C-alpha cells in the first residue's frame, strides 16, 4: 500500500502478542463488557468514546475511497478492463447476496424461532418503530438512484455518502484516463495524497481499543444481557446461520478460488475485533482496503470492490432480513404461503439495495420489506428492536467477511491477484516470520 504503512506493519509483526492491536482491541471489548454489566450507568456515559472513534474513521473514508479508485482507474489505462471488472463484481454481489436471502428463508422455516410465541400486537410499543418505518418509505429505488448523484462534487465528501463518493471517483478517474499525459501531474499528486491518507489511517487505528471499549461498554450498559436472553432463540438462530454461511458458503467460495476462509479470518482478526467492538463495519473499511492490497489484490480492484460491496454485498443484512421477517410472522401468528415467501424474496432483493448507505440500514431495510408485505405487520418490528444492537454486530461481521472474500475472488477472476503474495499473507504467523527472516 504505502511505504509508511508497510514499515509500520513489519515493525508490528515483531511485537509481543500483548502489544498487537488485535489483542488490545479484544482486551478493550472484554473490559467494556465488564463495565457495562457491573456499572451500566457509568458505561452508558462512555458512548462518546466509540462515537468519536467512528467519526475519526469516517472522516478519512471518503478521501481514501476517492484516491484509491481514481489512481486505480488511471493505473488500468484501459477502461474496458474497468468495465469488465465492474460487471464481474456486481454479478458476484447479486449471486451471493441472493443466496444469503434464501438461506435466511430456509433456516427460518426449518427452525421456526418465533413459533408458539402468540404475540398480541396491541401489547407492543410501536412508537420507536414508526421512525424506522418513515425512513423506509422515504427510501425508494427511484430516490436511491437519484441520491447517487451528489448536489456538488464537494457535498459527496461533506455528507460522507459512500455511493456518492464512488460516483465522483469513478467519473473523475475516467476523465483523467481520457485526458492522457495532460492529466498525469494530477495523478502523481493524488498518488502522493494517497500515501499521506493511509499514513493517517495508521495513526487513527492506534485509538481503536479506546473506541471499542467505549462502544461495547455502552451496548452492554444500555441494552443489557437480559435483552438477548428474552429472545435467545432468534439471536442464537441468526448468529448460528451467519456462522454457517461464513464457514460453508464463503468457505467453499474461498476454497474454489485457492485460499482458506479460516486463514483469511486470522489475517483480518484485528479488523474483525474492531467491527465487533464498534458494531460498525465502516470502522474497518480503510484498514480492509490496505490489507487486501497487501494480500496481493490489485489496487484498482480493491478500490472498486470494497466500497461498492459495502453498499451492494451485505450478506449478513440479507440473512437477517428474511430470518427476521419470518420470525415476526411466526410470533404474531401470520401464515406465509410459498407464494408469499417468494414475494418476500423478490421484495428483499430490491429493498436491500434501496437502503444501501443509509445509517441503520439493517432495520430500515427490514421496515421497507415489511411495508410491501401487508400480511406481516410492521408493528411486529417492536419485538426485535431491543436486541437489534446485538444483531447488528453479527450483520456487520458477516458483511465485512463477505466483502473481503469478494475482493479476492473478483481479483482472481480478473487475473489481478498475486497468488504468492496472497499465500504469504495468509500463512500462519510463525511461518510468515520465518520466511521474512530468511
Kindly report the CATH number assigned to the domain that includes residue 11: 1.10.3860.10
Residue 387 · residue 341 · CB < 8 Å:
no
**Residue 299 domain-assigned (yes or no):** yes
Query: Which pLDDT score, from 0 to 100, does residue 379 have?
Result: 77
Query: Which pLDDT score, from 0 to 100, does residue 202 have?
Result: 87
**Residue 321 domain-assigned (yes or no):** yes
CA distance 397 to 402: 9
Query: Which pLDDT score, from 0 to 100, does residue 96 have?
Result: 94
pLDDT tens by residue, the chain, 438 residues: 444 444 444 444 456 766 788 888 989 999 998 999 899 899 999 999 988 998 888 888 889 889 988 888 887 777 888 889 889 999 999 999 999 999 999 999 998 888 877 777 666 666 666 665 555 555 556 666 677 888 888 888 888 778 888 889 989 988 998 888 888 899 899 999 988 998 998 899 899 899 989 988 988 888 777 666 767 888 889 999 999 999 999 999 999 999 999 999 999 999 999 998 888 888 888 999 999 999 999 988 998 899 888 888 889 989 998 998 898 888 888 888 888 888 888 878 776 665 444 445 667 777 777 777 777 777 778 778 777 777 888 988 999 999 999 999 999 999 999 999 999 999 876 444 434 443
Query: Which pLDDT score, from 0 to 100, does residue 436 have?
Result: 43
**Residue 182 domain-assigned (yes or no):** yes
What backbone torsions phi and psi does residue 19 show, to the nearest 5 degrees?
A: -95, -5
Residue numbers of the domain that contains 367: 3-79+95-437
**Residue 88 domain-assigned (yes or no):** no
Enter the pTM of the model. 0.83
Query: Which pLDDT score, from 0 to 100, does residue 127 have?
Result: 63
Query: Which pLDDT score, from 0 to 100, does residue 310 have?
Result: 84
What backbone torsions phi and psi does residue 361 show, to the nearest 5 degrees?
A: -60, -35
Query: Which pLDDT score, from 0 to 100, does residue 101 have?
Result: 92
**Residue 84 domain-assigned (yes or no):** no
**Residue 375 domain-assigned (yes or no):** yes
CA distance 383 to 119: 9
Query: Which pLDDT score, from 0 to 100, does residue 279 have?
Result: 80
Query: Which pLDDT score, from 0 to 100, does residue 435 have?
Result: 40
Domain total of the chain: 1
**Residue 286 domain-assigned (yes or no):** yes
Residue 70 · residue 172 · CB < 8 Å:
yes
**Residue 87 domain-assigned (yes or no):** no
CA distance 63 to 111: 44
The answer for 360, left when phi > 0, alpha when psi is -120 to 50, beta otherwise, is: left
Amino acid at each position: 500500500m504505502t511505504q509508511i504503512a508497510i514499515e509500520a506493519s513489519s515493525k508490528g509483526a515483531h511485537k509481543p502478542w500483548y502489544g498487537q492491536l488485535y489483542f488490545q482491541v479484544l482486551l478493550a471489548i472484554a473490559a467494556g463488557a465488564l463495565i457495562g454489566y457491573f456499572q451500566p450507568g457509568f458505561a452508558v456515559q462512555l458512548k462518546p468514546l466509540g462515537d468519536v472513534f467512528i467519526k475519526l474513521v469516517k472522516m478519512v473514508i471518503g478521501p481514501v475511497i476517492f484516491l484509491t479508485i481514481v489512481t486505480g482507474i488511471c493505473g488500468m489505462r484501459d477502461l474496458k478492463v474497468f468495465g469488465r471488472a465492474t460487471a464481474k463484481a456486481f454479478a458476484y454481489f447479486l449471486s451471493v447476496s441472493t443466496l444469503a436471502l434464501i438461506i435466511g428463508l430456509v433456516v427460518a422455516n426449518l427452525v421456526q424461532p418465533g413459533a408458539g410465541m402468540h404475540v398480541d400486537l396491541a401489547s407492543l410499543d410501536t412508537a420507536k418503530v414508526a421512525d424506522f418505518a418513515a425512513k423506509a418509505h422515504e427510501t425508494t429505488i427511484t430516490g436511491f438512484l437519484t441520491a447517487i448523484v451528489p448536489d456538488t462534487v464537494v457535498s459527496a465528501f461533506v455528507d460522507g455518502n459512500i455511493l456518492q463518493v464512488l460516483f465522483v471517483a469513478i467519473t473523475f478517474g475516467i476523465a483523467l484516463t481520457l485526458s492522457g499525459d495532460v492529466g498525469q501531474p494530477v495523478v502523481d499528486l493524488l498518488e502522493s495524497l494517497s500515501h499521506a491518507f493511509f499514513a493517517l489511517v495508521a495513526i487513527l487505528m492506534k485509538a481503536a481499543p479506546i473506541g471499542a471499549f467505549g462502544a461495547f461498554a455502552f451496548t452492554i450498559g444500555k441494552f443489557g444481557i437480559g435483552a438477548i436472553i428474552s429472545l435467545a432463540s432468534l439471536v442464537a438462530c441468526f448468529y448460528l446461520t451467519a456462522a454457517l454461511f461464513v464457514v460453508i458458503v464463503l468457505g467453499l467460495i474461498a476454497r474454489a478460488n485457492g485460499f482458506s476462509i479460516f486463514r483469511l479470518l486470522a489475517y483480518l482478526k484485528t479488523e474483525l475485533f474492531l467491527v465487533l467492538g464498534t458494531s460498525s463495519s465502516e470502522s474497518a473499511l480503510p484498514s480492509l482496503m490496505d490489507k487486501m492490497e497487501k494480500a496481493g489484490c490489485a489496487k484498482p480492484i480493491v478500490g472498486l470492490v470494497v466500497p461498492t460491496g459495502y453498499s451492494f454485498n451485505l450478506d449478513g443484512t440479507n440473512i437477517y432480513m428474511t430470518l427476521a421477517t419470518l420470525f415476526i410472522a411466526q410470533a404474531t401468528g401470520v401464515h406465509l404461503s410459498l407464494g408469499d415467501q417468494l414475494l418476500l424474496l423478490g421484495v428483499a432483493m430490491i429493498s436491500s439495495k434501496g437502503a444501501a448507505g443509509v445509517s441503520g440500514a439493517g432495520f430500515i431495510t427490514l421496515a421497507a420489506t415489511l411495508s410491501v408485505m401487508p400480511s406481516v405487520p410492521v408493528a411486529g418490528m417492536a419485538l426485535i428492536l431491543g436486541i437489534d444492537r446485538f444483531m447488528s454486530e453479527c450483520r456487520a461481521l458477516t458483511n465485512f467477511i463477505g466483502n473481503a472474500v469478494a475482493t479476492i475472488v473478483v481479483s482472481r477472476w480478473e487475473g489481478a491477484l498475486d497468488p504468492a503474495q496472497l499465500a504469504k499473507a495468509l500463512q500462519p504467523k510463525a511461518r510468515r516470520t520465518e520466511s521474512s527472516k530468511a
